[in-house]
Amino acid sequence: MAYEVDGKTIEADADGYLADASTWSEAVAAEIAKADEVEMTDKHWDVVNYLRDQHINNAGAEPNERTIAKDMGKVWGKKPSSKEM
């Protein structure tokens, strides 16, 4: 599987995960979302950027849903429900 982004071929495995994480960009993420029929909103980008930051700065550790909701609540001014996440 591969994605075409800005004239470049970005390789991914059968599940859609990037073969090389260094090829990630917002343009690549937007193309992956498009392939999954998801239109990215500002809130989507807030969550994506938060998770990338957590992954990069915490040795690959990922926060649980409760922590994500709590931290997004700080960004958005109210704690989101699971459905909003």
- With H, G, I as helix, E, B as strand and everything else as coil, classify residue 75: helix
pTM assigned to the model = 0.83
Q: Say what the pLDDT of residue 82 is.
A: 80
Kindly list the domain boundaries of the chain, sorted by start residue: 2-35, 42-76
Q: Say what the pLDDT of residue 84 is.
A: 79
Chain position carrying tokens 């699971």: 82
Rounded to whole angstroms, how far apart are CA atoms 44 and 40?
6
Q: Say what the pLDDT of residue 38 is.
A: 96
Q: Under a CB-based contact definition with an 8 Å cutoff, are residues 31 and 3 in contact?
A: yes
Residue 30, Cβ neighbours under 10 Å: how many?
Answer: 18
